[in-house]
Amino acid sequence: MTNVSGIDGFAELTLQTRDPDALARFYTETIGLELLDPQEDRIWLKVGERARLGIWSPGVKEFGDRGGAHVHFAFKVRQGTLDELRERIGGQGCDAHMEQHPGGDRSLYFCDPEGNRVEAWDFFAKPENQAPGVEALRG
């Protein structure tokens, strides 16, 4: 099936916390994201070349946005980087575990300091899974 919606990836994901500075420090210092745009009630972090992670304080924002619960989200990571990331997360006292998938790709699952479930997944780093992109996820 051809994608006719025009959607081709995530532009941003936002997390809500009562301490945006502390959560942003976790994502910059432990995970290695880059600070993009700190604002009064939110902090934007760079995720790859075309996405950002928002760390927001509670409350309604200018377009009626407000925080909410989510199940988990996943970062796409380069092959060969999950073990180092696991060590950095382990040094922060976070519970992190690695899963080996049937196709040989791996996922690292952990919780950030606010309890958000996060996955770092090297699936799209494997050459056979790069094209045609997410179509490789079909069974």
CATH H-level, domain 72-139: superfamily: 2,3-Dihydroxybiphenyl 1,2-Dioxygenase, domain 1 (3.10.180.10)
pLDDT of residue 5: 46
What one-character DSSP code corresponds to residue 134? G
Per-residue confidence in pLDDT tens, the chain, 139 aa: 454 544 566 778 889 899 999 999 999 999 999 999 998 888 999 998 888 999 988 887 765 666 666 667 888 888 888 898 898 888 777 778 898 888 788 888 888 888 888 888 887 666 665 544 445 554 4
Domain boundaries, given as residue ranges, for the chain: 9-58, 72-139
Domain topology for 9-58 = 3.30.720
Scored b (16 or more CB within 10 A) or e, 62-84 reads eeeeebeeeeeebbbbeeeebee
Burial (CB count <10 Å: 0-12, 13-18, 19+), residue 127 = exposed
What is the pLDDT, as a whole number, of residue 132? Answer: 47
Q: Would you state the pLDDT for residue 131?
A: 46
In this prediction the pTM is 0.72
- Is 72-139 the same fold as 9-58? no
The pLDDT of residue 9: 63
Phi-psi region of 24 (alpha: psi -120 to 50; beta: other; left: phi over 0): alpha
